[in-house]
Amino acid sequence: MIKQGTCYFTSESVSKGHPDKVCDQISDAVLDAILEKDKTARVACETYITRGLVVIGGEITTRTWVDIEQIARNVIKDIGYDSATWGFNYKTCAVINVIGQQSPDISQGVDVGGAGDQGLMVGYAVNETPQYMPLSLVLSHNILKNHEKVRKNKTLPYLGPDAKSQVTVQYKNGKPMRVDTIVLSTQHTEDILDRSGNKITDKAKKEIEKAVVLPVVKQWIDKDTKIYINPTGKFVIGGPQSDTGLTGRKIIVDTYGGRCPHGGGAFSGKDPTKVDRSAAYMARYIAKNIVAAKLADECTVQIAYAIGKDEPVGFYVDTDGTGRLPDEKLAKIAQKIFPLTPRGIIEHFKLRSPIYQPTASFGHFGRENFPWEKTDKVTALQKAAK
C-alpha cells in the first residue's frame, strides 16, 4: 500500500510495436488460432524477434494445424511494421518455426484436471480508479492507447509503432493527488528532426504532447507537472531493428505496474491449463470483487499450486490493514465462493475460447471486456461477510 505522508509512485507501459509486445501478440495469436479449432490443445508458444527475423518455438500438442508463419506476419502487419520506414517489414522478414510437442509426463497430471505446473500466482485490486487499478498504470496504458489511435488515424503521421510511456503519481496519505512526471518516448520519422539532426523540434514535441498526452492526463496535471517527450532527443531507429523482443518480458506492464508482488510466470502463449495464466486471472477476479464489495480498499491475493494437483496448496489474502474483516476470514470466505481448481477456473471464465490476443497489449487487467474483470461476486461476498 502507498503509505502515509507524501510519496511518489511510478508505472510504465509499452506500445503494441515494442519488440517484447510484438512477441506477446504473436504467441497469443497462435494460441487463439489453435483454440479456434481444437479447444483441448496444449499450447506453450514463445516468440523471439530481432532485425529481420522472427523465431517461434515452444511446445504445442494439438489435433489441428494452423499457418503459424502467416499468423505472425498478420500480427506484425496489423501493428504497423509494413515498410522499410520503421526498420521491419512483415512481407520481407524471415519466420522460423521450431515448435515441438509437450512432454507426455506433464499431460498425465493435467489430463485429470491438475495444474499444468507448480507456481504461485498473484492478483491485486485498489479502489483509487474506476478500474480498481493503480492510477499510474492506468494513465501509462491510456497514453499509449491514444498514441496508437493518433498514429493510425494519421493525426500525427510521423509517429512510429514503437513507444514507451511512464507516469509518476504524487500521493498524500495514501491518496493520489496529482501527476508529477510523464515520460513518452516514441519512434518517429526523420522529418521532425531539427537542424542538428539529433533531436525532434519543439513544434513536434508540442504536437505530441497536445494530441497524445494531455487528453489522457489533463485532470491530473498542474503547472509543476514535468512532461518529457523523447528525452534522449530522437527515436528514429526503433522496433526489432534496434532491440530484440521476447515473449513474457513485460510482466509488470502486463499486471499491476509494480504495486504488488508478481507470481512465477508470464502469461502470453500459454493455454489455460497453465495456472501461471488462469490462476492469475482468478486471483485478480477475487481481489477486485473484494475491493468492489467495499470489504477492503486494497487487496492482494496469492494462490499456489503443485503440478498435477487440482486443489491449491496455498491461498492468501492481504488487505494491508484496509480490510473490514480480518484477512484470515476474507480468505475463508473467498475459498468458499470462488472456484480454485484449474478445471473450475477454466469453466468459470470459459478460457478454452480464443480470447487471448487482445490481452497481449495494454495489460491483462483493468479492461471490462475480460471475464475476470466482472464484479458479479460482490453480493455473495457481502452476504458472507455479514
Report which DSSP code applies to 191. G
Strand partners, 124: 300
Other CB atoms within a 10 A radius of the CB of residue 112 amount to 11
Q: How far is CA 300 from CA 48, 68, 198, in A?
A: 32, 37, 45
Using a 10 angstrom Cβ sphere, with 0-12 exposed, 13-18 middle and 19 or more buried, the burial of residue 3 is exposed
> Residue 356: is its pLDDT beyond 60?
yes
C-alpha cell at 25: 501478440
Element (H, E) at 184: strand 175-188
> Residue 17: is its pLDDT beyond 90?
yes
Model pLDDT, residue 290: 98
> Residue 109: is its pLDDT beyond 60?
no
Model pLDDT, residue 251: 96
Model pLDDT, residue 232: 93
Cβ pair 341, 310 in contact under 8 A: yes
> Residue 102: is its pLDDT beyond 80?
no
For the stretch 151-187, pLDDT in tens is 999 999 999 999 999 999 999 999 999 999 999 999 9
CA distance 238 to 243: 7
CA distance 361 to 90: 19
Model pLDDT, residue 100: 86
As a residue count, the chain comes to 386
Residue bearing cell 489455460: 272
Model pLDDT, residue 117: 74
> Residue 111: is its pLDDT beyond 90?
no
CA distance 339 to 333: 12
Cβ pair 19, 244 in contact under 8 A: yes
CA distance 93 to 18: 16
Report which DSSP code applies to 212. I
For the stretch 143-159, pLDDT in tens is 999 999 999 999 999 99
Residue bearing cell 492526463: 217
Phi then psi for residue 137, to 5 deg, are -75, -40
Q: What average pLDDT does the structure give for the chain?
A: 94
Model pLDDT, residue 323: 96
pLDDT category, 253, cuts 50, 70, 90?
Answer: very high
Model pLDDT, residue 15: 98
Cβ pair 356, 271 in contact under 8 A: no
Model pLDDT, residue 106: 52
**What would you report as the CA-atom Rg of the chain, rounded to the nearest whole angstrom?**
22
